[in-house]
Amino acid sequence: MFQHAKLCIPKRGEGYTTDDNARALIAAVRYHRLKRDPAMERLASIYLAFLNHMQKPDGNFHNYLSYERTYLDVDGSEDSAGRALWACGSALNSALPRDMRLVAKDIFDRGLPWVWKSTSLRFYSAAIAGLYQYRQAIPNGDSAAHAEKLGDTLVQHFRDENKGEWRWFEPHLTYDNARLVEALFLVYLMVKKPVFLNVAEEAMAFLLETQLVDGVFVPIGNDGWFKRGGSRPFYDQQPLEAAAMVEAAVDGYLATKNERYLDVANVVFGWFLGRNSRNIMMYNPETGGCYDGLSADSVNTNQGGESSISYLLARLRLEGVRRGF
């Protein structure tokens, strides 16, 4: 999976990332679960091999790899390490061949200790998503306890930053925001501790109040982010925000059985299909890609790895919940 594209053509000179190949592995696993398509098994093998290559001897991950297969960093981002754990947990909890699942487990087991050295809430959240999948595959063990510990930390951050109408984990809303909420729904599903559900629902309500405008999903733009006490930016909007919100809403439904969350997931998914603040289709049905960004006066029509896989993750998650997966 290449990182960037010029329109729908990969930009080979900009290489690859652990981030995007982790997302691609999750998408391949989901499609394989839904369709049992042998082609997805082959793709999953490629993405899993990439993650194995990007893991360092100490268990941490590189993130950037050049087209010439040269590492471009010493240590990758904490986000990429978290997504690698999420992806490997998903591969472990799949119908992929046993040997592939064992490789995924080994990568996960060697990478998990790094989460305890981090203060990144997004690393915690992605690790929780991976631990949830891990526990589905291997119910015995410490995965639920690890997830509970990370969930407790998220709750403490929420309590520390929850001030008046600002009901959030941080003093700002930036990127991939709904993943923090999703993580608490998942921990609740694992350990049934009421505080996880209560905080997840309160934070989700805040996100909806902030990002639903006249019934249309308008994610926080990355032009300055949204700082507590400031004004929220409406652009530039990115596909990963819609994908994260769809998945958080689906997990909210699984945690509560409240079908309102499924309604939210479908409303948010509409962002990809033109039900957004500019009424512009962000998914390109001709190429199967998704445009990189929605601005106030333009659309970034490049279809990079993150954007295109974000669309697939959201779509496959909705199809999965409709079919009881």
Tens of pLDDT along 55-68?
999 999 999 999 99
Do 181 and 46 belong to one domain? no
pLDDT bin (cut points 50, 70, 90) of residue 200 is: very high
Do 181 and 317 belong to one domain? yes
Do 82 and 216 belong to one domain? no
Q: Can you give the pLDDT at residue 24?
A: 98
- Phi, psi of 281, rounded to the nearest 5 degrees: -65, 120
Answer whether 50's CB lies under 8 Å from 21's CB. Answer: yes
Question: Average pLDDT, stretch 259-269?
Answer: 98
Domain's final residue, options 83, 117, 141: 141
Do 208 and 276 belong to one domain? yes
Q: Which residues constitute the domain of residue 222?
A: 147-325
What's the total number of domains in the chain?
2
Provide the H-helix boundaries in the chain: 18-35, 38-54, 78-92, 98-111, 121-137, 143-161, 178-191, 194-211, 239-256, 260-269, 305-322
Do 205 and 299 belong to one domain? yes
Do 248 and 308 belong to one domain? yes
d(CA 282, CA 288): 11
The rounded mean pLDDT for the chain is: 97
Q: Is the pLDDT of residue 227 over 90?
A: yes
Q: How many CB atoms lie within 10 A of CB 10?
A: 18
Q: Can you give the pLDDT at residue 325?
A: 79
Here the CATH number for the domain that contains residue 258 is 1.50.10.20
Q: Is the pLDDT of residue 236 over 90?
A: yes
Asked whether the CA dihedral 39, 109, 89, 25 is positive or negative, the reply is negative
The closest alpha carbon to 104, from 49, 158, 60, belongs to 49
pLDDT bin (cut points 50, 70, 90) of residue 324 is: confident
Provide the H-helix boundaries in 117-259: 121-137, 143-161, 178-191, 194-211, 239-256
Q: Can you give the pLDDT at residue 117?
A: 97
Q: Can you give the pLDDT at residue 2?
A: 96
Q: Is the pLDDT of residue 143 over 90?
A: yes
Do 137 and 151 belong to one domain? no
Tens of pLDDT along 145-195?
999 999 999 999 999 999 999 999 999 999 999 999 999 999 999 999 999
In the chain, % of residues over pLDDT 90:
99
- 138 residue type, one letter: I
Question: Average pLDDT, stretch 93-98?
Answer: 97
Question: Average pLDDT, stretch 41-50?
Answer: 98
Do 158 and 219 belong to one domain? yes
Domain's final residue, options 141, 168, 199: 141
* Three-state secondary structure call for residue 5: strand
Q: Is the pLDDT of residue 213 over 90?
A: yes
- Phi, psi of 261, rounded to the nearest 5 degrees: -65, -35
pLDDT bin (cut points 50, 70, 90) of residue 300 is: very high
Do 307 and 182 belong to one domain? yes
Question: Average pLDDT, stretch 107-131?
Answer: 98
To the question of pTM greater than 0.85 for the whole model, the response is yes
Here the CATH number for the domain that contains residue 28 is 1.50.10.10
Asked whether the CA dihedral 34, 242, 296, 225 is positive or negative, the reply is negative
Do 288 and 169 belong to one domain? yes
